[in-house]
Amino acid sequence: NAGVIQTPRHKVTGKGQEATLWCEPISGHSAVFWYRQTIVQGLEFLTYFRNQAPIDDSGMPKERFSAQMPNQSHSTLKIQSTQPQDSAVYLCASSFRTGSRDTQYFGPGTRLLVL
């Protein structure tokens, strides 16, 4: 089992460009979570899917950010018109559910730098 796979590991974009980040969850896991990590804000929840359905996007910036999970094997996070403040490590986690609890396993992250 390769764990959660995130691609690319590093991405540099110019201000105003689009960035698409990919996540492949652990096979058999039912949920995918996206988080953002910065020095200033720490680890912040963005959004998550369960059985491919969007469940909670309360952490997503209302503009420019969107996430999808078109099939059980991958999820994408898209940032339109990137801004320097979007620079962060974007972490994807997948989980299996035990009762009412999710045990989340994180990928290595995608380090996004917006110049």
- Write out the residues near another protein by the rule CB under 8 A: 4, 6, 31, 33, 35, 42-45, 48, 50, 55-56, 58-59, 91, 93, 95, 100-109
* Closer residue to another protein, CB minimum distance, 71 or 100: 100
Residue 64 or 111: which CB sits closer to another protein? 111
State whether residue 54 is helix, strand or coil. strand
Q: Strand pairing of 10-13 and 110-114? A: parallel
CA distance 101 to 113: 34
State whether residue 86 is helix, strand or coil.
helix
Task: Please report how close the Cβ of residue 49 comes to another protein at its closest, in angstroms.
Answer: 10
Q: How far is the CB of 67 from another protein (least distance, A)?
A: 13
Closer of 55 and 115 to another protein (Cβ): 55
In the bound complex, what is the minimum distance in angstroms from residue 107's beta carbon to another protein?
5
Pick from 85, 76, 70: which is nearest to 7 by CA?
Answer: 76
Q: Report the candidate in 28, 32, 27, 33 with the shortest Cα–Cα distance to residue 46.
A: 33
